[in-house]
Structure 1
Amino acid sequence: MAKTEDGTIRHDWSVDEIAALMDLPLLELVGRANAVHRANHDPNEVQRASLLSIKTGGCPEDCAYCSQSARHAEVDLTREKFLDPASVVALAEQAQANGAERFCMGAAWRRVKEGREFDAVLEMVRGVRGLGMEACVTLGMLEPHQAQRLAEAGLTAYNHNLDTGPDFYGEIVTTRTYADRIDTLTSVRAAGIELCSGGIIGMGETMRDRAAMLQVLAGFDPHPESVPVNALVAVEGTPLADRPPVDPLEIVRMVATARLVMPASRVRLSAGRAALSREAQILCFLAGANSVFYGDTLLTTPNAGLGADAALFDAIGGASVRG
């Protein structure tokens, strides 16, 4: 079992406690997080995950950050129809050849609907698992029986981000509630599928909102197996287009705090990584990040490319990159 600094694993963190950690002097915070990270993980191991959009654009949700919302008509986005399973599995095989261990598939849906497309997703999951890769999907809200079908197909993890803390959530999304998010995560956990859930910083939230989101995640028993830390990528045409870039040290603080409250989780550097310097990314690894999304794009936003990542891991030297 994963251990915190004093040897215990906790699901009862308060927002005040987490906010206090996040507000520690940076070197103290990173030092504590690194100690917990080394106690629970190989500090030289970083997992690579690949993310593919299997259906792009046209989502009826109004998430203020998202380029795929049909409500953000000014976004320059080419809508793409649902991909066929054979093409997706071929792309997974290519990603595996490039070093990916996990293959993630995202569809711009509000919720999972029974029918041909969901059957195709199940086929994709079986195909990716047949390659010996971990399979993850993000499909919006789903019902318990749909989670069970995904589990039977061999799904490793389901991604459903909380986005932010419960008090700020209504400023970002109005077409579904925070309780809807929690219900989906509960269905996923009940089906025996791993949870992949994190959030986005830089949307105008306070530090306390960030702490509140981590408090909700840490309340799951067990903790989510994967916790993506995203920095807002401001997309022209969305309501958050004019938000200033996130200070890289705020990302470091978020990673370190996530590591302290969820010691065994895989903390994944996700959206916004393309804007981070090599040194900022290495500081995130030191603070407890041990996974990255790699490839040129993350669904519809830019990401650090394969060449840049090869140089990054070469610079680290000796890292046993999983894939």
Structure 2
Amino acid sequence: MLDTGQDIRSDWTVDEVEALLRLPLLDLVGRANSIHRMHHDPSDIQKASLLSIKTGSCPEDCAYCPQSAHHREVELTREKLMNPGHVVSLAKRARDAGAARFCMGAAWRQVRDGEEFNNVLEMIRGVRNLGMEACVTLGMLKPHQAQRLAEAGLTAYNHNLDTSPEFYSEIIGTRTYQDRLETLGYCRDEGIDLCCGGIIGMGESLRDRAALLQVLANFDPHPESVPINALVPIKGTPLEHRDKVSIFDLVRMVATARITMPETRVRLSAGRSDFSTAEQALCFLAGANSVFYGDVLLTAPNAGTQNDQDMFAALGAVAEG
């Protein structure tokens, strides 16, 4: 009998995680749903709104990302860092539409001290004053920058691992896996929640998917939020011709994340707009309990707000907020 990890564990092996991913689908979903109900209200789905506060011209070479300066054929409007007051007004609009968390992304390789970072800190304080959770993704951090983010009231820092340590160099060459782990460690040291997940559909193997989840599940404590992204192939990026991710592959990732990280928010993220309400419902049955909410995810399309409201009504879900 395969141990489904009803106790909170941080000692998973890649073989154990891969065995979960290979279970018959209904068996896997059933186990995940049982664990989900032990640790969460199944009708509670968190809405998180995401805004690109600085778009394009990123020096990183991430193969999936249209914001990389390396991908010159991508059609993208590049924008400087937004005004803090405007960002807070958009956060208020998101709150009024039902979002509980406001996430802000800047296409930077790393944070640099100065006026722009000070403006981001002002945005965080403004979002928190609205009674919302505040999350940012700004690239790599130094310890004192993580401290300043914590002092501003930051709820969570998003810094995805993207894929397995073994496949990582096939996707990104401008920073290392260890760079990412160090930034996450600085945030954890300051008491900032971690929002950390990955992407499937980039050409990785099932073993790579298992290795990604194994790294995340062996954090102690586990990340508070794990976004599961399905690749959105963008014209002009090296991954533009990748096939669409199967809903069953996405469900397997969600269910295995739920089994290995019972108390984590598992978030349906990029690629969700490609799936029907019924397909997304299978993900919620498998343990997803958070979504990015709104019409756009940074520069990728997302399920529309009205579509989501209709879906939540059909599911009888109570969105946190």
TM-score range normalised by the length of the shorter chain: over 0.9
Are residues 1:37 and 2:36 paired?
A: yes
Q: For residue 320 of structure 2, what is the aligned residue in structure 1?
A: 322
Alignment deviations for residues 6-63 of structure 1 (CA, whole Å, 9 cap, x no partner) = 6421100000000000100000000000000000000111000000000000000000
- Inter-CA distance 5–170: structure 2 relative to 1 (3 Å threshold): closer
CA contact (8 A) 2:5 2:259 kept: no
Q: Which runs of 5+ in 2 are unaligned?
A: none
Once residues 319 and 177 of structure 2 are traced to their aligned partners in structure 1, the CA distance between those partners, rounded to angstroms, is: 35
Q: Which one-letter code corresponds to 1:262 in the other structure?
A: M
Q: Which one-letter code corresponds to 1:83 in the other structure?
A: M
Once residues 4 and 158 of structure 2 are traced to their aligned partners in structure 1, the CA distance between those partners, rounded to angstroms, is: 28
Alignment deviations for residues 122-152 of structure 1 (CA, whole Å, 9 cap, x no partner) = 0000000000000000000001110010000
Q: Which one-letter code corresponds to 2:50 in the other structure?
A: L
Q: For residue 278 of structure 1, what is the aligned residue in structure 2?
A: 277
Q: Which one-letter code corresponds to 1:151 in the other structure?
A: A
Q: Secondary structure at the match of 1:82?
A: coil
Alignment deviations for residues 163-205 of structure 1 (CA, whole Å, 9 cap, x no partner) = 0000000000000000001011111101110000000000000
Q: For residue 23 of structure 1, what is the aligned residue in structure 2?
A: 22
Post-superposition shift, 1:282? 0.3
Once residues 205 and 5 of structure 2 are traced to their aligned partners in structure 1, the CA distance between those partners, rounded to angstroms, is: 28
Q: For residue 104 of structure 2, what is the aligned residue in structure 1?
A: 105
Post-superposition shift, 1:219? 1.3
Q: For residue 74 of structure 1, what is the aligned residue in structure 2?
A: 73
Q: For residue 63 of structure 2, what is the aligned residue in structure 1?
A: 64
Q: Which one-letter code corresponds to 1:184 in the other structure?
A: T
Q: For residue 52 of structure 2, what is the aligned residue in structure 1?
A: 53
Q: Which one-letter code corresponds to 1:185 in the other structure?
A: L
Alignment deviations for residues 184-243 of structure 1 (CA, whole Å, 9 cap, x no partner) = 111110111000000000000001101101111111110000000000000000000000
CA contact (8 A) 2:5 2:260 kept: no
Once residues 218 and 5 of structure 1 are traced to their aligned partners in structure 2, the CA distance between those partners, rounded to angstroms, is: 13
Post-superposition shift, 1:314? 1.4
> Map of 1:1-323 to 2, 5 A cutoff?
5=4, 7-317=6-316, 319-323=317-321
Alignment deviations for residues 277-311 of structure 1 (CA, whole Å, 9 cap, x no partner) = 11110000000000000111000000000111111
Q: Secondary structure at the match of 1:321?
A: strand
Q: Secondary structure at the match of 1:210?
A: helix
Once residues 173 and 4 of structure 2 are traced to their aligned partners in structure 1, the CA distance between those partners, rounded to angstroms, is: 38
Once residues 126 and 5 of structure 2 are traced to their aligned partners in structure 1, the CA distance between those partners, rounded to angstroms, is: 43
In the TM superposition, structure 1's runs of 4+ consecutive aligned residues that sit over 6 Å from their partners are none
Normalized against structure 1, the TM-score is what? 0.98
CA contact (8 A) 2:4 2:260 kept: no
Q: Which one-letter code corresponds to 1:322 in the other structure?
A: E
Q: Secondary structure at the match of 2:308?
A: helix
Once residues 17 and 236 of structure 1 are traced to their aligned partners in structure 2, the CA distance between those partners, rounded to angstroms, is: 36
Normalized against structure 2, the TM-score is what? 0.98
Once residues 305 and 88 of structure 1 are traced to their aligned partners in structure 2, the CA distance between those partners, rounded to angstroms, is: 20
Q: How many residues align?
A: 319
The RMSD of aligned alpha carbons is: 0.8
Alignment deviations for residues 65-89 of structure 1 (CA, whole Å, 9 cap, x no partner) = 0000001000000001110100000
Post-superposition shift, 1:321? 1.3
Once residues 8 and 231 of structure 2 are traced to their aligned partners in structure 1, the CA distance between those partners, rounded to angstroms, is: 30
Q: Which one-letter code corresponds to 1:129 in the other structure?
A: R
CA contact (8 A) 2:6 2:259 kept: no
CA contact (8 A) 2:216 2:222 kept: yes
Work out the percentage of aligned pairs sharing the same amino acid: 68
